[in-house]
Amino acid sequence: MGKIKTGWKLPPLPLPVALLGANVSGKANFFTIVWFNMLQDDPPLVGAAMSKSHYTRQGIKDNKTFNVNMPSSSMAEIVDYCGLYPGSKVDKSNLFEVFYGELETAPMVNECAVNIECRLMDSKEFDTTELIIGEIVEVYCEEKCLAENKADYRKMDPMIFFMPESPYIKTGDVIANAFEVGKKFGQ
């Protein structure tokens, strides 16, 4: 047993699953993303990489707004549906109870525990994809997912996608506290 060179293009990674929301031609649209993360904390920037052919991309550019909605594991079927079929083929505007926030043009999914509302700030193009970069203007959270004014991951019950071909999975047990357990190392 040991290490082998796999030749894989896509490494196996546990990635957060979200619905990216944006209005396209005046209608709410949502697609499933796992290629997103934070880029900076102050001001807070989030980046989402998507194919240049993505239907939603033009909507984001037109309105200069989008958002990232965090679904719970009970939403797996509809979340996967949003990833399977493009907005150019199916109308997703009535799939969810939509609400709008500060920016007025970024449709957020009420059924998702957390909604991250973003103003388009910048972008960076690659060969076939573009990194859409948004500044977070507000984070909405379902009250029932809070514990001591913080989001509780067990209540939020987020979905993880194990890239590239594997299942959606749930979060599991606590391993240790970050920024604490490392202080024990070497002692």
- Residues 48-67 touching a copy of itself, rule: CB under 8 A, are 49
Q: Which of 41, 89, 94, 104 binds a copy of itself (CB under 8 A)?
A: 41
Residue number, 44 or 62, with CB nearest to a copy of itself: 44
13 binds a copy of itself (CB under 8 A): yes
Interatomic CA distance for residues 128 and 30, integer angstroms: 20
Judged by CB under 8 A, which stretch of 7-15, 22-30, 55-63 contacts a copy of itself?
A: 7-15
97 binds a copy of itself (CB under 8 A): no
| Interstrand relation of 146-147 and 98-99 (parallel, antiparallel or unpaired) | unpaired
Buried b (16+ CB within 10 A) or exposed e, 137-176: beebbbeebeeeeebeeeebbbbbbeeeeeebeeeeeeee
Judged by CB under 8 A, which stretch of 20-28, 35-43, 53-61 contacts a copy of itself?
A: 35-43
80 binds a copy of itself (CB under 8 A): yes
Enclosing H/E stretch for 116: strand 114-125
Q: Which of 79, 103, 106, 120 binds a copy of itself (CB under 8 A)?
A: 79
**How many residues sit close enough to a copy of itself to count as binding (CB under 8 A)?**
96
Interatomic CA distance for residues 142 and 146, integer angstroms: 7
Nearest CA to 20 among 44, 43, 46?
Answer: 46
Q: Which of 27, 61, 73, 86 binds a copy of itself (CB under 8 A)?
A: 73
**Least distance from C-beta 120 to a copy of itself, angstroms?**
14
Q: Please say whether the dihedral angle defined by the alpha carbons of residues 99, 25, 137 and 82, taken in this order, is positive or negative.
A: positive
Interatomic CA distance for residues 57 and 65, integer angstroms: 11
**Least distance from C-beta 43 to a copy of itself, angstroms?**
7
Bridge partners, 37 (sequence order): 47
**Least distance from C-beta 187 to a copy of itself, angstroms?**
10
Q: What size, in residues, is the chain?
A: 187
Residue number, 11 or 104, with CB nearest to a copy of itself: 11
**Least distance from C-beta 184 to a copy of itself, angstroms?**
6
